[in-house]
């Protein structure tokens, strides 16, 4: 790729002060409308284009101040849609602030590259920096994959299959490419950009065709009947429990009764939702012994997801599950690796173990863990064909959050079963096809599904997150090229200077 297209960046129309604000406001509205709950997936393909057009034309400190303002508005609009009880706005600031900073930084650097090197560089630099920054976030910070560009498309199951090739990163690259191509057309006109538009169209069509072919494949592996149990204990009781003012015994009795009911329905494995009950550390052994006895009596595995209070002053707790085999033995004790920001349990250090259930290989994770691609990959690399994911959500992230976990299962080539408190319980096969689902509000608190247990080989499971390494190198090259270029192009309007020379 050439380091510059010409001595001038050609704009179809000049970006006046008024148009600059209209572009940024329009971009903020598109990002908010395409993201999170009630997201309009189609808008996700062009949501960042107005920002790129605006910042590709203007780059003063004042312009960047406005960029940060509108990026923050976009994140407030997007994340605000998931604020429902018991979640409050102050709690959401933990996501709004870092998300706004990341959005601002990515767009600011992409705009700078466009101003220095031209619109063609911008076409590929923006998706590259999008993928790189998302990867940094879910690899090195507790912010996970929330807000990733690819997650705007979680309802498009054929397109989700693209994750089997390059993970969520590949899907984010493709979605961000839609915005950067749109911006380039706005900057230079369709005639100059038709080759790049054609390339994007071919990639998009190929991804859709690949997905349509893939989702008709039969699910491999042995079928295991799994039950998800939604516990009677709601999060609204948590403050009372922590103060020692609420007796959980009645709720615990109902929890075990629902587990027995699942066994009556033929379940071989019963999974509780995340932190189905809260107990003191001194009571943990006796509580688990009750589950071990029930597992022996009914010949079932029970994944007992519980919260264990280590101390009340200072407050410390563990978010874990005890996996009990049908013989009553403890097959695994797993502590949540990635606590949700603000949740506060002691993070686990070990990967979940693989448990043999009648010759089928199962493993697990807990809720927010599956917002980090490494966990699904760990399950697959360890040989599991089904991940059991005890979870606890709220109305504002339902059903987006369950579908995020489904995407990670598709990428890794494994089935997922996710019993949830206060949201939708979903079982999905290795291609993300929903086998069964259960609304939390309904009278039935036990969902039973026959789930295929076996791996579907995927390129992503074989390579892991290799794409972000490539995008990081591309970003580095772009930044070096933009820094070294001495004759940074001027930004002019075609209307003012029609005969501008433009590189082929």
pTM of the model: 0.92
Tens of pLDDT, residue by residue over 156-193, are 999 999 999 999 999 999 999 999 999 999 999 999 99
Do 335 and 320 meet the contact criterion of CB atoms below 8 Å apart? Answer: yes
Can you give the pLDDT at residue 89? 83
Whether 300 is in a domain gets the answer: yes
Residues 185 and 334 both lie in one domain: no
User: Average pLDDT, whole number, for the chain?
Assistant: 93
CA–chain centroid gap for 203, Å, is: 22
Whether 344 is in a domain gets the answer: yes
Whether 86 is in a domain gets the answer: yes
Do 224 and 356 meet the contact criterion of CB atoms below 8 Å apart? Answer: no
| Average pLDDT rounded to a whole number, residues 190-214 | 98
If you search the block for the tokens 């429902």, which residue do you land on? 84
Do 57 and 116 meet the contact criterion of CB atoms below 8 Å apart? Answer: no
Residues 138 and 245 both lie in one domain: no
Do 305 and 320 meet the contact criterion of CB atoms below 8 Å apart? Answer: yes
If you search the block for the tokens 């297209």, which residue do you land on? 5
| Average pLDDT rounded to a whole number, residues 262-285 | 97
pLDDT of 486 higher than 60: yes
Least confident of 11-25, 31-45, 389-403, 434-448: 11-25
Residues 394 and 488 both lie in one domain: no
Q: Which residue has the higher pLDDT, 442 or 125?
A: 125
Residues 379 and 467 both lie in one domain: no
Residues 444 and 484 both lie in one domain: no
Indicate the burial class of 249 (C-beta count within 10 angstroms; 0-12, 13-18, 19 or more).
Answer: exposed
Whole-angstrom CA distances from 308 to 7, 86, 288 are 65, 21, 11
| Average pLDDT rounded to a whole number, residues 275-279 | 96
Residues 476 and 375 both lie in one domain: no
Q: What is the domain extent for residue 481?
A: 9-215+462-493
- What confidence category does residue 25 fall into, taking pLDDT thresholds of 50, 70 and 90? very high
Tens of pLDDT, residue by residue over 223-259, are 999 999 999 998 888 778 877 788 899 999 999 999 9
Can you give the pLDDT at residue 494? 46
Number of H helices, E strands in the chain: 15, 17
Question: How many other C-beta atoms can be found within 10 angstroms of the C-beta atom of residue 450?
Answer: 14
Residues 318 and 416 both lie in one domain: yes
Q: What percent of the chain has pLDDT over 70?
A: 94
Whether 500 is in a domain gets the answer: no
Which of 80, 78, 30 lies closest to 54 in space, CA to CA? 30
Which of the 8 DSSP states describes residue 303?
A: E
If you search the block for the tokens 């149990």, which residue do you land on? 229
Whether 1 is in a domain gets the answer: no
Residues 193 and 300 both lie in one domain: no
Can you give the pLDDT at residue 1? 56
pLDDT of 153 higher than 60: yes
Residues 66 and 204 both lie in one domain: yes
Residues 436 and 346 both lie in one domain: yes
Q: Which of 216-225, 239-248, 311-320 has the highest mean pLDDT?
A: 216-225
CATH of the domain at 368: 3.60.110.10
Residues 236 and 165 both lie in one domain: no
Can you give the pLDDT at residue 183? 98
Tens of pLDDT, residue by residue over 60-72, are 999 999 999 999 9
On the CB side of 47, CA atoms within 13 Å amount to 31
Between CA 257 and CA 235 the distance in angstroms is 20
Can you give the pLDDT at residue 499? 33
Residues 112 and 236 both lie in one domain: no
Strand partners, 315: 312
| Average pLDDT rounded to a whole number, residues 382-399 | 97
Whether 487 is in a domain gets the answer: yes
Overall domain count for the chain: 2
- Region of 219 please: left (phi>0), alpha (psi -120 to 50) or beta: beta
């Amino acid at each position: 790729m050439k380091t510059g297209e010409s001595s001038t960046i050609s704009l179809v129309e000049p970006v006046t002060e008024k148009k600059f604000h209209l572009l940024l406001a329009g971009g903020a509205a598109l990002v908010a409308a395409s993201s999170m709950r009630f997201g309009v997936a189609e808008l996700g393909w062009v949501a960042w284009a107005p920002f790129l057009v605006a910042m590709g034309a203007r780059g003063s400190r004042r312009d960047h101040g406005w960029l940060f303002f509108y990026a923050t508005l976009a994140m407030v609009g997007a994340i605000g849609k998931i604020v429902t009880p018991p979640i409050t706005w102050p709690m959401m600031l933990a996501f709004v602030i870092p998300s706004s900073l990341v959005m601002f930084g990515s767009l600011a650097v992409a705009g700078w590259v466009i101003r220095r090197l031209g619109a063609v560089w911008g076409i590929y630099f923006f998706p590259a920096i999008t993928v790189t920054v998302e990867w940094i976030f879910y690899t090195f910070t507790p912010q996970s994959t929330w807000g990733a560009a690819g997650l705007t498309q979680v309802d498009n199951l054929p397109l989700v299959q693209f994750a089997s090739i390059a993970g969520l990163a590949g899907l984010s690259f493709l979605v961000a490419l839609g915005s950067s191509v749109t911006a380039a057309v706005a900057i230079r006109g369709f005639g100059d950009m038709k080759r790049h538009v054609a390339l994007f169209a071919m990639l998009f069509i190929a991804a859709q065709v690949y997905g349509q072919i893939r989702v008709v494949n039969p699910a491999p592996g042995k079928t295991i009947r799994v039950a998800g149990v939604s516990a009677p204990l709601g999060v609204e009781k948590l403050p009372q429990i922590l103060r020692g003012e609420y007796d959980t015994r009645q709720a615990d009795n109902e929890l075990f009764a629902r587990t027995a009911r699942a066994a009556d329905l033929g379940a071989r494995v019963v999974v509780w939702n995340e932190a189905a009950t809260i107990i003191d550390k001194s009571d943990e052994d006796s509580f688990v012994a009750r589950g071990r006895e029930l597992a022996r009596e009914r010949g079932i595995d029970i994944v007992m997801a519980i919260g264990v209070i280590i101390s009340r002053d200072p407050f410390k707790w563990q978010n874990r599950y005890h996996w009990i085999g049908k013989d009553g033995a403890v097959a695994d004790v797993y502590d949540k690796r990635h606590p949700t920001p603000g949740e506060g349990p002691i993070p686990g250090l070990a990967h979940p173990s693989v448990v043999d259930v009648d010759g089928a290989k199962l493993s697990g994770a807990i809720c927010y863990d599956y917002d980090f691609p490494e966990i699904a990959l760990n399950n697959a690399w360890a040989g599991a064909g089904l991940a059991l994911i005890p979870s606890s959500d709220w109305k504002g992230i339902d059903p987006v959050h369950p579908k995020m976990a489904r995407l990670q299962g598709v990428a890794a080539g494994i089935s997922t079963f996710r019993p949830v408190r206060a949201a939708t319980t979903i079982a999905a096969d290795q291609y993300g096809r929903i086998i069964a689902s259960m609304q939390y509000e309904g009278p039935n608190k036990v969902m039973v599904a026959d789930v295929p247990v076996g791996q579907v080989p995927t390129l992503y499971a074989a390579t892991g997150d290799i794409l972000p390494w490539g995008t990081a190198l591309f970003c580095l090259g772009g930044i070096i090229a933009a820094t070294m270029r001495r004759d940074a192009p001027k930004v002019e309007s075609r209307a003012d200077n029609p005969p501008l020379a433009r590189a082929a």
